[in-house]
Amino acid sequence: MTDSTAGFSTRAIHAGQPFEESTGAVIPPLHLSTTYHPYSIGELRGGYDYSRGTNPTRDSLQQQLAALEGGRFGISYASGLGAEDAVLRGLLKPGDHVVMGNDVYGGTFRLISRIHGAVGIGHTPVDLTDVDAVRAAVAETGAKLLWIETPSNPMMRIADVEALVAVAHEAGAYALVDNTFASPYLQQPLALGADLVVHSTTKYLGGHSDVVGGAVITNSEEIDSAVRFIQFAAGNQSSPFDAYLTTRGAKTLAVRMDRHCDNAEAVASWLLGRSEVSHVLYPGLDDHPGHDVAARQMRRFGGMVSVRLKGGEAAARKVAESTRVFTLAESLGGVESLMNYPSEMTHASVKGTELAVPEDLLRLSVGLEDAEDLLSDLERAFEGL
Ligand SMILES: Cc1ncc(COP(=O)(O)O)c(C=O)c1O
């Protein structure tokens, strides 16, 4: 039972993953073969000829991801940025323009501004929480693509997906949502009208910090064929082993996300009670400016919490380097809790630009450990601030 009426976890566990007919293996095997023997010239056995184009293990992942986002088509790539690059190459041509959040993920900004900027794609960063400003930017620039990231990394701003999709569509632009931070369990952008969703599957979908990957999901045949062609023609697809690991991780997404949310809520409310903290950036808090929109478009508020410290850069560095359960590292969305100092780590590429993140800010990827161990770890790291 893996049709679209099946529940989220049923789809996660079964979509694209039938048992194997020839042996009865319940878990579809990992297909490493690069090439496939046809019945005769031009008459393929299972639709496969060469693995850069199609591969059964990658197909399993692509079907699983499409089912989780409620989309018809899923395409998987070697990384999140590889997926984003395929979208930009597949949908845009020189002279086209992208409007994106002024706190878009730094790697996305670098990709659009430096790699695609160099071949004539324009970009305008704007505050996505200000729908009128977005409408004006899209109209002024004649944008072909509105790039929405919500919650944003690492400022945790919430963009109103339905309102922004309407702005894009009024202007004849595509509306894309980077759904990495929420995961399809918490937020379903296609159901909110978005034309396509991108993911860094490296994060919650893979979920175990052991595989880099990316994906594009859409209901549009036109978008699918343009973006899938880049996967085949440019060769930036996920490898079979990476696809296998990602599928395995994504099966438990729902149970992991609920625990991530429970623990993040505990961490956010602990931080809120600390005198050393100036701001807790978590959309689950009633006074977060995006709380009402998040409550409308998300199932829960996610596992990411950012915090700003009154003691500035020195305090942030001290906390980042003193935790024992939270590991100081880039990335997010794995079972283990990670602590990141964005201005020198994940967002170093936007330092000194208008997208620079504050130096007193820490980003916490709250994992699945016992909440009391996470809180006592933070308690210890805050000592002497
Ligand atoms: C929101 C967001 N989008 C895209 C990416 C890029 O993904 P990857 O690192 O898999 O290329 C990241 C990576 O941190 C991210 O946080």
**The pLDDT of residue 350 is above 90:** no
**The pLDDT of residue 27 is above 60:** yes
The one catalytic residue in 49, 52, 248, 262 is 52
Report whether residue 107 contacts ligand 1, using a CB cutoff of 6 Å. Answer: yes
Q: How many whole angstroms from 366 Cα to the centroid of ligand 1?
A: 17
The model's pTM: 0.97
Average pLDDT over residues 343-361: 89
Distance CA 145, CA 1 (A): 36
The answer to whether 194 and 165 are in contact (CB under 8 A) is yes
Domain spans of the chain, in order of start: 8-250, 253-382
Residue 153 Cα: closest atom of ligand 1: 1
Report whether residue 178 contacts ligand 1, using a CB cutoff of 6 Å. Answer: yes
Residue 212 Cα: closest atom of ligand 1: 10
Report whether residue 101 contacts ligand 1, using a CB cutoff of 6 Å. Answer: no
Distance CA 73, CA 232 (A): 15
Residue 152 Cα: closest atom of ligand 1: 1
CATH node for 253-382:
3.90.1150.10
178 is annotated as an active-site residue: yes
Question: How many Cβ atoms are within 10 Å of 288's Cβ, its own excluded?
Answer: 22
Can you tell me whether residue 304 is helix, strand or coil?
A: strand
Question: Hey, do 8-250 and 253-382 end up sharing a CATH topology, with the first three levels equal?
Answer: no
202 is written with which tokens?
A: 């490296």
pLDDT band of residue 178 (cuts 50, 70, 90) is: very high
Please report which residue ranges of the chain form alpha helices under DSSP H.
8-14, 56-69, 80-91, 106-110, 131-141, 161-170, 183-186, 221-234, 240-250, 253-272, 291-297, 312-322, 371-382
The second-level CATH assignment, the architecture, of 8-250 is 3-Layer(aba) Sandwich (3.40)
The model's pLDDT over 135-158, given as tens digits with 9 standing for 90+, comes to 999 999 999 999 999 999 999 999
